[in-house]
Chains A and B, each alone.
Chain A
Amino acid sequence: MKPLFGSFGHRKKDIAEELESHLRLATAELVERGMDPEEARASAMREFGNVPLVEDIATEMWGWLWVDRLLQDLRYALRQMRRSPGFTATVIGTLALGIGAAAAMFTVVDHVLLRPLPYRDAGRLVAIQEHATNDPRTSGAPWLDIQQWTLRSHSFSQIALFDGMPGRNFLEESNGGGMQISAVTVSPNLFATLGVTPSMGRDFLSVPMGSEVSKNADTVILSDAAWKAAYGGDPGILGRNIKINSKSYLVVGVMPPGIEIPFGPSFPQVWTTIALGDQDKTRYYNSPDYSVIGRLRPGVSIKTAQAEMSTIQNGLAVAYTDARVRQERTDARVQSYADSLVAADIRKALLALLAAAGVLWLISSVNTTNLLLARGAARQREIALRGAIGASRSRILQQFIVESLVLSGAGALLGTGLALGAVQLVSKAKPAHLNVEFSAHVNFTILAVLCGLTLLTALVSSAWPAFLAVSTSIESAIKQGGQQSGTGRRHSRVRRTLVVCEVALSLTLLVACGLLLRTIYTLRHVPLGYRTDHILVAHLAIPSYRYSNRNMIVDLYQPLLDRVQHLHGVSAAGFMSEVPLAQKFSIKLTVAVNGQSSIAVLKTVSPDIRRIFGVKMIVGRFFDDHDTATSEPVVVVNMAYARLHSPNPHDPSAIVGQRFMNLRKDMPTKIIGIIDDERQGKIGEPSQPEVEVSLQQLSPDSGFYQPSTVAMDLAVRTERAPDSIIPELRSILGQANPDLPHATFNTMDQVVEDSFGSQRLAAHLLEIFGGVALLLCLAGLYGLLKYTVTQQTRDIGVRIALGAQRTDVLWLVMRQAAIMLLAGLTLGAALALPSTRLIQSFLYGVTAHDGWTLACAAALLLVSGLSAAYLPARGAARVDPITALRTE
């Protein structure tokens, strides 16, 4: 009979009875030999040995004992936790901070860097981009280059291309409304390259690119999102004609949910095919650039493909006639498509922050180890006693591990809560150029990492205390209580080392945090070249197709401006194609002067914009109401432009009165003034050359630039609070166009604040990490000293009784603290120097090896560390020798 399940209790009872019968038989025999029954029983017991241990081992032969033990240890652990709530709360809190920080950071990294792409075998997809040798900035590629890549390369089974349609795109809905979409033109083989097929209808017909008349012309494939949003998932959509930007397309397919390309669009996507134009037959600055995706042939590595593409592109660059354009396209970069979605500096920064969270986790684990060691010392007698009454070493070890698992499990639970909160915080501070939706949802990867982290935490924090506990000899522990014994001294040496490590790690985090705070401070104090106070900005998404045959300036912008200007409390209102630092998009103008091309930012503004932003006029005049669609076309440039293009290199103002390019057909444009430089895209970047044109001079027949294709920002200078004026502005916008009330409003101050994006995110996180690290480190130092002082109460009592001054005792403790702190700071400084380089790309106006920041962080740690040490030191100095000597 081999009962396995359910009879566990029965089995245990049976074995206990069996051993009892053994003892009875042995006793009976001894009595028979003439021994006193009581003595016989004792003798039999002695002969038998450790009854409960034998019972356990015999039961174990049947396999289920570990469950019983585990439950027992669990109960014991919970009882221990209830008995010392202060200790438990400290440990759980400490671990929660460490695990929480690591989990939160990992969630962000998971969302940004480890996003699974919805394509077949996505790891084999690469982005191919052109760039100048030794320049990390990349661009797309013109058709002629891509054509050569396809012909010459052997690394790819397919090469496909795509490009966003210019400007903002709208899908006309049957009810007359318009929905903003992201319209992408693609090569017919793109979806095949990605390995995705439509869930409804068909893919584009496979025809080679460049054939004059494509069978795919005027056909469109909808994304699931666009299909559901615009047509409510109507299955009859196939074969219908829909209008994108007033142009009609035949719907041939609908993609399955989640399929998007390029990945992470702002609006629902639709795809049409690329129609190559005349400019695609040239390699010049105005040749359209396409994003290129290749699928690596089986067995080909990215490295091999990279080497091949570099060679090919090197050869192709010769074909560029313009020296500047050629220099920008001398090399091609092959990069996994997933990697290409996140800028290299963001990737590096996120990994650095993840490392910072890891450091915090390490500090919290070290601190927990320290706490467990302190308790282990206090529990030595209990553990020795358990050993004496028959608990095996592995049993005691197991109990320790269960205890720390319970603690770190509780810490992980609390930490997850903290992490979810932190992720919410992060998603609010999301950098503008990080096009990622953060959500606090927990996926399998995160869950697995969390569990692993909990286990690792338990192991790391309990391994040393458990080892010390089981390696302590039973007799000495029971005899001396471990307080003055060798183990006690070893304990405190280990704990000192741990505190030193904590101080070192905390310093690293504090230095990193200090560097970022200085960066933010410096950025806030960069002269922008314009005012940002009391300006309200509305980003208008105007469905331009509604104005395709009308003059938007006359029909929309001018009347709108008139009404806003007359609003109560508005001192000025104006339009600007994009306000500075908004980082949504920018228009680049390539200016060719004397055969050399250069790039300038192009902005369309209304005359009042200078007054609103308080931009300084260096020379000449700004636009006024006399500059109209019929008057002489004029532009204003900034200092950076003037310095670059002035006919007199020593006098930028000589450029005023010069003429260049045609704003209107056959009408050269005159430069009428120079404005001061201002920060356009990023605060950290110096001013780029800029050319401004007046909105009032644009008309549907403007030569190079159609106002209808771009968005406009409305800027309003007002003394009124944003909350009170926004509803009024919305109603005015609504009257002008039914789509406009949904415009997003922002204050200019907020736009500036948002432009700090990744720096602010990193600074916030490091503030939290650094603060928590400091707190944990101080708690560790305080705890250790407090414990040492308690243990040495008797010694201190003797010293005082022998005539030591109380100040001597105070200094004795303070000196211990100072030594630990200084050792930690030295180690920390050595650690900080290499590790702060990781956040280099985030820094502005301060180097990664900034001595002042290091000194300040060290001083902060030293001062707060000594303050934390003062309390136990004062306690030691107040020891009453009589009570101290009496207690032991």
Chain B
Amino acid sequence: MSRARIYENRVEVLQGTLDMLILKTLQWGPQHGYGIVQALRANSGEMLQIETGSLYPALHRLERQGWVRSEWKQSESNQRAKFYRITATGKKQLAHDLGRWQRIVEAVTSIIDRDPEGNEV
């Protein structure tokens, strides 16, 4: 089975929203990379699949910007893993990202919700 087939029914994460999704996931508590993937998949009803090829570069980008902090700890399954924790500036960034996302959603919705004559449905 080729890889393309597996992902057929999943939605690609929108460009630029990955950082927001990671920060949001970390708001519920420190998590390692594998945990973040699992959480995003589960919370999106198996709809969102995060490529590891994008996740780890994103995590390190966030860490370099000071929005998350990392620490090696034992996981629940007693494995050593690197846990990421959101910082205060990270929280600020998340609020900013969420606000922007909200505005985009509103704008897109208001376009979709009109009939051809321009009246609200």
Contact = CB atoms under 8 A, between A and B. Distances in A.
A25 B81 contact: yes
Interface in B31-66: 32-35, 51-53, 56-57, 59-61, 64, 66
Name the prevailing secondary structure of the B interface residues: helix
A15 B55 CA distance: 12
A599 interface: no
A441 interface: no
B80 interface: yes
A688 to B, nearest CB: 82
Contacts of A22: 32-34, 52, 56, 81
A521 interface: no
Nearest to A49: B53
A28 B61 CA distance: 28
A21 B57 contact: no
Interface stretch (A56-64, A274-282, A303-311, A313-321): A56-64
A665 interface: no
Contact of B61 (A21, A26, A61): A61
B81 A21 contact: yes
Interface residues of A, number: 25
Contacts of A50: 53
Interface string A544-577: 0000000000000000000000000000000000
Contact of A25 (B51, B53, B75): B75
Name the prevailing secondary structure of the A interface residues: helix
A40 to B, nearest CB: 14
Contacts of B109: none
A632 interface: no
B56 A18 contact: yes
A57 B34 contact: no
A54 interface: yes
Contact of A2 (B3, B33, B34, B64): B64
B119 interface: no
A860 to B, nearest CB: 60
Contacts of B57: 54, 57-58, 60-61
B2 to A, nearest CB: 10
Given A25-B34, A46-B3, A62-B64, A57 B53 contact: yes
A224 B77 CA distance: 87
B107 to A, nearest CB: 31
Residue from the set A25, A26, A53, A54 with the largest chain B CB neighbour count within 10 Å: A25
A133 B57 CA distance: 75
Contacts of B56: 15, 18-19, 22, 54, 57-58
The 8 closest A-B pairs by CB, nearest first: A61-B60, A25-B34, A58-B56, A57-B57, A18-B82, A21-B81, A22-B34, A61-B61
Interface of B: 3, 32-35, 51-53, 56-57, 59-61, 64, 66, 75, 77, 79-82
27 contacts: A2-B66, A18-B33, A19-B52, A19-B56, A21-B32, A21-B80, A21-B81, A22-B34, A22-B52, A22-B56, A25-B35, A25-B75, A25-B81, A47-B52, A49-B51, A49-B52, A49-B53, A53-B53, A54-B53, A54-B57, A57-B56, A57-B57, A58-B56, A58-B60, A59-B60, A60-B57, A62-B64
